[in-house]
Amino acid sequence: MDTIYALATARGKAGVAVIRISGPLAWQAARNLAGTLPEPRVAGLRRLRLAGEELDEAVVLCFERGASFTGDEVAELHIHGAIATVSAVLRALGQIDGLRLAEPGEFTRRALENERLDLAQVEGLSDLIEAETEAQRKQALKVLSGAVGALVEDWRAKLIRAGALIEATIDFADEEVPVDVSPEVLELIDAVSAGIRDELRRLGAAERIREGFEVAIVGRPNAGKSTLLNALAGREAAITSEFAGTTRDVIEVRMEIGGQAVTLLDTAGLRETDDVVEAIGVERALDRARQSDLRVFLLDGEEVPLIAPEPGDLVVHGKADIAAHDGLNVSGKTGEGLGELLSAIEERLSGLGEGAGVMTRERHRVAMQRAFGALESARDEVLRGSDRSELAAESLRQAAWALEALLGRVDVENLLDEIFSSFCIGK
């Protein structure tokens, strides 16, 4: 097995930078530079030198094989974060025989191979590194802590018990008074199916937290949508003008509202029009608005045509500086009512995000659907009587297999490259 090394902290000038070395030669390599090593898990201050040349004064931290992030023997060099210092130490490590630079995600891949993390935890770690909002951070940390594994283990234990009950009836099929295990088997299958169905239902909310919610501003031409978007975004993202029909394309602004990632959409003003280009804009506006998680209807004294608010959508009156109506009044021009609008959006999003469970991505959905389908077959076979026991047992095994794939225990080799390619070097 290779010994790998990489800068674990971000590239560029910094106060301190951490270089991580993992593999059988990790301590030897660190000793080459530091002379002596501190006790494992105790930080020690050392002068790093290579071939007599002084590189830096560093804090060195060693982890024993089997008790490190990767599971390998690990050494960390906490050095000064100067670009030149980092280059000099990386260059020195490159000169040591048997060491090579780590590929993106390779430390985490070792952690997976050494069973320090399961595949869902790896995804959680990837999400944690990408997290920009509080909701994303909390969700990712929960997954990194092993929440998926705990749930899957519970389901798997139930399926193993159901399988064992069925196997027992196959083995003792000749007995005079066979015990009917099907009620207990069905109960176990139904418990797991219900759990999976629940997690499938909650997955949409978790995906929204991970990817961000889409919030579309809709209204008639000239209602002040683009002005409102710019005010909320704090920059001139969209063109505004006194001419009705200014916005044609959907304008997207990424922002954070109440700890949630949001893509705020400005859309073309809605009206029937003979202008070919504007009509395309209106179609796009309607499509995106319908697909959005939340719509903000910006009224200008008249109803918005072509689309109606769905339950939970926000309806507000614009240009509050000129006229006030019943309900929430906002003005992109003066900023009036924007705090209340943001609070209202925040409240809606926290409602939409509330149902999130621990399954967070399409891969989880596919695996759970596969398991769910296999459980339906198992249920059918059990109901059709004991001569179908072999088939029921096989379906249960398939369901357990699909669940194990969630944790990366089976059937995922082809996925790993894709998952790790999104990691940064040093993770």
Ligand X SMILES: Nc1nc2c(c(=O)[nH]1)N(C=O)[C@@H](CNc1ccc(C(=O)N[C@@H](CCC(=O)O)C(=O)O)cc1)CN2
Ligand Y SMILES: Nc1nc2c(ncn2[C@@H]2O[C@H](COP(=O)(O)OP(=O)(O)OP(=O)(O)O)[C@@H](O)[C@H]2O)c(=O)[nH]1
- What are the residues binding ligand X (CB under 6 A)? 63, 67-69, 76, 116
The residues that touch ligand Y, with contacts defined as CB under 6 A, are 219, 221-227, 240-242, 244-247, 268-269, 318-319, 321-322, 331-333
Shortest Cβ contact with ligand X: which residue? 69
Residue appearing with tokens 């003792």 = 172
Is 108 annotated as contributing to ligand binding? Answer: no
Total Cβ atoms within 10 A of residue 119: 21
Is 268 annotated as contributing to ligand binding? Answer: yes
Phi/psi region, residue 279 (left: phi>0; alpha: psi -120 to 50; beta: rest), is alpha
As given in the structure block, the two tokens for residue 326 are 């019943």
List the x/- string, 69-108, binding to Mg ion by CB under 5 A.
----------------------------------------
Torsional sign, CA 13, 18, 24, 30: positive
Closest separation between CB of residue 249 and Mg ion, Å? 10
Angle between helical axes of 182-211 and 147-171 (0-180°, round to 10): 160
**Beta-sheet strand order (sheet of 213-219):** 251-257, 260-266, 213-219, 294-299, 314-317
Q: How far apart are CA 11 and CA 380, in angstroms?
A: 57
For the segment 351-370, give every residue that binds Mg ion (CB under 5 A).
Answer: none
The residue type of 300 is: D
Cβ closer to ligand Y: 241 or 422?
241
Distances (CA, A) of 349 to 136, 291, 407, 423, 427: 13, 15, 30, 29, 32
User: Which residues contact residue 184 at a Cβ distance below 8 angstroms, ignoring those fewer than 6 apart?
Assistant: 162, 165
Shortest Cβ contact with ligand Y: which residue? 269
As given in the structure block, the two tokens for residue 70 are 């990767």
Is 169 annotated as contributing to ligand binding? Answer: no
377 CB-side CA count, 13 A: 15
Closest separation between CB of residue 315 and Mg ion, Å? 18
For the segment 209-228, give every residue that binds Mg ion (CB under 5 A).
Answer: 225-226
Cβ closer to ligand Y: 303 or 413?
303
Is 245 annotated as contributing to ligand binding? Answer: yes
Is 329 annotated as contributing to ligand binding? Answer: no
Is 76 annotated as contributing to ligand binding? Answer: yes
**DSSP notation for 10-51:** PSSS-SEEEEEEESTTHHHHHHHHHSS-PPTT--EEEEEEET
Closest separation between CB of residue 316 and Mg ion, Å? 16
Cβ closer to ligand Y: 35 or 335?
335
Closest separation between CB of residue 82 and ligand Y, Å? 48
Is 390 annotated as contributing to ligand binding? Answer: no
As given in the structure block, the two tokens for residue 88 are 């000099």
Q: Answer yes or no whether residue 230 interacts with Mg ion by CB under 5 A.
A: no
Q: Which does 67 bind (CB under 5 to 8 A by kind): Mg ion, ligand X, ligand Y, none?
A: ligand X
Cβ closer to ligand X: 89 or 166?
89
Tell me which residues touch Mg ion (CB under 5 A). 225-226, 246-247
Q: Which residues are annotated as a binding site?
A: 20, 76, 116, 222-227, 241-247, 266-269, 427
Bind-site residues for (6S)-5-formyl-5,6,7,8-tetrahydrofolate: 20, 76, 116, 427
